[in-house]
């Protein structure tokens, strides 16, 4: 019987309190901050660069000196009717056709002088 009486004080104690729940906003705040960080560090500069490249491709005209993604340097000799293909003159009698989006940059006198 004494064993049962020794357990009574343990049974009479209040149950342990449940941990307090924080606000849902506080729980998701680290994820929200990571999302904002991801946007400003990765997505926003990439969008600016894409817009700048599209503007450069839209402004291409005949006789521009360009560099392709593969590193080929040439002069624009023809732009197709639909604007998707560009013909580059690489050498005296050598002409290559490229998809417009494969043009990496336009070379100007300033960029040539700095190289």
Q: In what order do the strands lie in the sheet with 103-107?
A: 95-99, 85-89, 73-79, 65-68, 103-107
**66 within 8 A of 107, measured Cβ to Cβ:** yes
Tens digit of pLDDT for each residue in 50-76? Answer: 999 999 999 999 999 999 999 999 999
**Each residue's pLDDT expressed in tens, for the chain with a length of 115 residues:** 556 667 666 666 666 666 677 787 888 899 999 999 999 999 999 999 999 999 999 999 999 999 999 999 999 999 999 989 999 999 988 999 999 999 999 998 765 555 5
């Amino acid at each position: 019987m004494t064993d049962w009486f020794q357990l009574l004080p343990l049974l009479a104690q209040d149950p342990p309190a449940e941990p307090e729940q924080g606000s849902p906003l506080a729980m998701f705040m680290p994820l929200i901050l990571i999302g904002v960080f991801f946007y400003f560090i990765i997505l926003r500069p990439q969008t600016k660069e894409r817009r700048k490249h599209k503007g450069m491709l839209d402004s291409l005209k005949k006789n521009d000196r360009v560099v392709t993604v593969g590193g080929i340097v040439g002069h624009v000799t023809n732009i197709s009717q639909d604007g998707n293909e560009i013909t580059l003159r690489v050498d005296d009698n050598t002409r290559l056709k490229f998809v417009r989006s494969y043009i990496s940059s336009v070379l100007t006198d300033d960029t040539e002088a700095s190289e």
